[in-house]
A = this chain, B = another copy of it.
Amino acid sequence: MSTSPTIPNAAASPQPSPTPNGSGVIARDQRRVSRLLLLILSRYGTLIGLALMVILFTVRAPEAFFNITNFVNILSQSSLTAIIAAGLTMTLVVGEFDLSIGYAASFAGLLVVGFIALNGLPVAAAVLLMLMIGAAVGTANGVLVTKVRINAVIATLGVGTILTGLGFAYSAFPIAAGIPQSFDNISLGRPLLGIPNPIIIMVLVLAILWFILNKTDLGQKMQAVGGNIEAARLSGIRVDRVKIFAFGAAGVCAALTGILLSALLGSGTLAAADGYLLDAFAAVFLGSATLRDGEFHIVGTLVGVLIISVGFNGLSIFGAPSWAQDVFNGAILIVAVGLSTLSRRYAKAG
């Protein structure tokens, strides 16, 4: 996969050449306006895609779609994907990859419930312990990738598969009995202005990760490592540590998602969170086409998650036939990103 953004190579392909000798001020002004539009489209293409979806759904199902309750629903459904995708974003920023996140989340969701229901740990202790295990899993990924130098695809797929096995060994059966309400409330509570807890946690996690990436040394180093690892190393950055940190963060986010999922479901189930992997990937890559050109960043990831969630929500409101849901979901990925990239090219050429 191409992890580091390559030099934008608009130049390589045939481009519409602008009229030679713009004849007069009006033509030039028109050009300027259309160029501005293209620029906007290129930066905000995915956002515009999101907006178009919202408009479409609003027009087609005004009462059901366009209301606060539904928006809160969408946000709270987005929150788990957003958290795990934000963790994935960290690994992509440093030019790596994490395929273990879905399995790690499933594993965490099962174990945390087991800690509470089977081992009798207090909720807070179980959650903390599980987050630490998540960090350890992420660190293990990081060490395999940096110190043992195993390709990230293999290392994280291997770790993920092992986690699946361990989860299965821990309990092949869903754990549903003996879970206190206080655990469920992690996901069901609405402590602030009636906003569901997962939304609050998502905002916190995203804010922290955004801050780390953009406002701290470490974040700059992460971006440098992802941009050109050799240059980063020769700038005195401890490349391996930076990468391990990113994997660790992804592990914690995955564990958190698993915990929130179990609290939401009210039980710990094998493989329950496996499906987050693909959604997270789609979201992060969708997001990388937002605002910045092909870079991975937290705000973009959130936009990506929202596009996916709004699509799912709107389509379930319509009750579109299943095949149409798939076609729509596939098309929205391509169209939203295609809008950005195409207009970026024409904006450059213009």
Contact = CB atoms under 8 A, between A and B. Distances in A.
Interface of A: 1-4, 6-7, 9, 12-13, 95-97, 144, 147-155, 157-169, 172, 228-230, 233, 239-240, 278, 281-282, 285-286, 288-289, 294, 321-334, 337-338, 341-342, 344-345
Give the 6 A-B CB pairs with smallest separation, nearest first. Answer: A165-B326, A161-B330, A162-B330, A158-B333, A165-B327, A169-B323
A97 B59 CA distance: 37
Contacts of A96: 1-2
Contacts of A151: 2, 285, 288-289, 294, 337
A154 B282 contact: yes
Nearest to A325: B165
Contact of A323 (B2, B149, B168): B168
A307 B12 CA distance: 41
A165 B12 contact: no
Contacts of A345: 149
Residue with the greatest number of chain B CB neighbours at <10 A, chosen from A3, A161, A172, A345: A161
Given A162-B326, A164-B326, A323-B166, A285 B9 contact: no
Contacts of A164: 326, 330
Assembly stoichiometry (copies):
2
A175 to B, nearest CB: 16
Contact of A338 (B97, B144, B326, B330): B144
Contact of A157 (B12, B167, B333): B333
A322 B152 CA distance: 25
A170 B288 CA distance: 33
A158 B330 contact: yes
B6 A286 contact: no
B323 A9 contact: no
Contacts of A326: 161-162, 164-166, 168
Given A233-B9, A285-B151, A322-B168, A331 B158 contact: yes
A205 to B, nearest CB: 23
Given A168-B323, A331-B158, A333-B158, A7 B3 contact: yes
Contacts of A294: 151
Contact of A1 (B13, B153, B240): B153
Given A151-B289, A165-B326, A229 B2 contact: yes
Contacts of A6: 3, 229-230
A230 B168 contact: no
B285 A13 contact: no
Contacts of A327: 161-162, 165-166, 169
Contacts of A239: 12
A134 B96 CA distance: 30
